[in-house]
Amino acid sequence: MELSLHTGDLEAAQRGDRPALERVLGHSRQNLRRYAEYHCVINDVEDAVQESLLQVSRKLRDLRQLECFTSWVFRIVKRECNRLKRAMRLVTGEEIAECILPIVYPEPMDWRRDVAAALESLPAHYREIILLRDLEGLTIEEMAQQLGLTRQAVKSRLHRARLLAREYLDA
C-alpha cells in the first residue's frame, strides 16, 4: 500500500505549514485506516488511526528523509495497533484475576523504587534492551538494527533481561 502524496505538500508540512499538514493527514487517513483494519482489533481501528495521525503531526519535523514518510507512517500505525492489543490483554487479564483473587497493589512509590532497583541491578546490555523495548516501544527489528544484532540475539537478550528482572522483583 503506497501513499501517493504531493512532495510539495509533504515538504511544506514538514516546515510547519498547517494547511499542507492538514492536506497530508487527510490524504493519508483512508490508507492508514485500511492498514489498521488489517493489523488492529476492529474496535481499535479508529483509535489507532487517530493516535497515529496525532503522532505524525507532532513528529513530522523530526523525519530526516521524506522518502521514508510512507513506511514511517505505516510503522506508527502498526505500533499503535500493537500497543492497543497489549492494553486489551492487560485489561482482560486483570478482569480474570479480579474474579479469582483480590488484587493488592503496592504503593506507587514503592513499586517505582522496586522497578528502578531491578533495572539498576541488570548488566548494562540487559538494561538497555528492556528500556528500548518497554519504554521506547521499539520493535525487535528496530532494536536489532540500532544495536547491530540479529533478531534472534535481540529476542534472546530481551528474554534473559526480563527473567533477571523478574527474579530480582520476586526476591
User: Model confidence over 111-145: pLDDT tens digits?
Assistant: 778 888 888 889 999 999 998 988 888 899 999 99
Specify the CATH number of the domain 7-88. Answer: 1.10.1740.10
Whether pTM > 0.75 for this model: the answer is no
User: Model confidence over 143-158: pLDDT tens digits?
Assistant: 999 999 999 999 999 9
| Residue that wins the pLDDT comparison between 11 and 95 | 11
Residue ranges per structural domain of the chain: 7-88, 105-170
How many angstroms separate the CA atoms of 64 and 72, rounded?
11
The angle formed by the CA atoms of residues 103, 107 and 112, to the nearest 5 degrees, is 110
* Structure letter (DSSP) for residue 123: -
Percent helix, strand and coil across the chain, each to the nearest 5: 80, 0, 20
Average pLDDT value for residue range 20-24: 87
| CATH class belonging to 105-170 | mainly alpha
pLDDT at 161: 93
Asked if 128 contacts 154 with a C-beta cutoff of 8 angstroms, the reply is no
